[in-house]
Amino acid sequence: MFAIVDVETTGGSPSFDRITEVAVLVHNGKRIIESFSSLINPQQEIDPFVMALTGISNEMVEDAPLFEDVYPVFEELTRDKILVAHNVRFDYGMIRREYKRMDRRFQRKHLCTVKLARKIFPGLRSYSLGTLCKNLEIPIMNRHRAYGDAEATTVLFEKLLFNDRKELIYSELENELSEQLLPPNLSKHVIDDLPEDTGVYYFLNQQNKILYIGKSLNIRQRIISHFSNDLKKARYAELKKNIYSVNYELAGNDLIAQLIESAEIKKYMPPFNRALRRKKYRYGIYVKEDQLGLKKFEIGPMRLEEKPLILCTTKRSAELTHERLEKKHQLKIFKQLMSLSYKNEERSIKVRKIYEERMKRAIEDQEYPHENFFIVGEGLRSSERSIVCIEQSEYKGFGYIDNGIQTNRPDELKEFIQFGFDTPDVKRIIKRWIKKNRSTSIIKY
């Protein structure tokens, strides 16, 4: 049995946007036997571009039911069915987010009609729903509305079923993870029971010792990709042979998952993890002043009495990092320009100012945006939030706090923090997260 679905949303991001309309058509492989559709109150504004595209306005959804109100019907219609959608990753992701907000898990086998159409009808210029309907003479009513698109996707799916001479749809369902690709000592039931959620996973041997640690936004899919792709590599043959069980730890969001992964790898030193294993930092890049009072970078061995701006494992890695910094911020060029401009005082002052600004930016690029702050993110449940603590520019740990506890006081927030070790890897993880997620909620103190 199939549940062919389509959702309309306030925008294109499952992380921030919400569903405004949902449609489900239950199909038995021959015909539609049941259907449901409803507008949904997303409890937030609809993007103007999306409003123009779908025709769904804020006024139309103002008095519509919440997703949690239609959840019983949606759950009943999709339970034990194979979910089908055009670009299923988007619809599936949006639905999973709505379930998560209700502290529920949504997990279904699913098929993508875009992917299937590429295999069964190869050679087309485009595989958008509109183009496919035009090429395959599928009538499409109410384009960009949930029921209209779901209805058109249903006809498309029927044509895919009819033209599937090589049983590609069956293969897609059965061969998500072939039994032959599984580690010989691991049951397929273990994989089937894994969550499609963010977290850290562990491969263990017969003695329950950790062989490998990884993290993913979708634990189950990442592990399947390991066995389908990564484990074909020669260096993983030994790992595959020795996997007897899989454990996991859920995380509220990707940042927390990365922090847990980094700490766990350094703690357990799994033999098949390399990149994040404990490192010895023997050199550093320090900020010094020259005879003119200008700041400069200087490479040197680690010293107890002085904290470097950047830690490096070897002298060569420090030299390469130093070169990249100078090149990125053009420090060497402006230093040379200063020496050439010493006879022209006005020009010399101007060049010096530019150099100092660039040097300041180069240093700031290596630091956190604030000395003391918390990063606030999603928790494990919708009723909580996660917090990551940075104090005196050092990582102190992370924790989860109930949404019912309304406080931004640092001393109270710190009570929920589980201690974590500050390392260069952690600093890199947090800085990269802040840079990539500009809208991250930060509490400064």
**What would the pLDDT profile of 346-385 be if each residue is shown by its tens digit?**
777 888 889 899 999 999 889 999 999 999 999 999 899 9
- For residue 335, what pLDDT band results from cuts at 50, 70 and 90? confident
> b/e string for 223-251 if b means 16 or more Cβ within 10 A?
bbebbbebbeeeebeebbebbbebebbeb
Global confidence as pTM: 0.77
Helix axes 113-120, 146-162, angle to 10 degrees: 30
144 catalytically annotated: yes
CB atoms within 10 A of CB 205: 17
H/E stretch holding 308 reads none
CB atoms within 10 A of CB 263: 21
**164-192 pLDDT per residue, tens:** 988 889 887 776 656 667 888 998 889 88
Note whether 173 and 109 are within 8 A (CB): yes
Catalytic residue among 144, 189, 322, 370: 144
Q: How far is CA 123 from the centre of its chain?
A: 32
* DSSP for residue 291: T
User: What mean pLDDT comes out for the span 242-256?
Assistant: 96
With H, G, I as helix, E, B as strand and everything else as coil, classify residue 20. Answer: strand
Report CA-CA distances (Å) from 125 to 136, 153, 165, 314.
13, 18, 22, 51
**85-118 pLDDT per residue, tens:** 999 999 999 999 999 999 999 999 999 999 999 9
Total number of residues shown for the chain: 445
Which pair of tokens denotes residue 167? Answer: 């049983």
DSSP character string of 234-259 = GGGHHHHHH--EEEEEE-SSHHHHHH
Q: Which of 17, 196, 10, 217 is nearest to 96 (CA)?
A: 196
Q: How far is CA 346 from the centre of its chain?
A: 50
List of domains in the chain = 2-174 (3.30.420.10), 179-268 (3.40.1440.10), 283-365 (no CATH), 373-444 (no CATH)
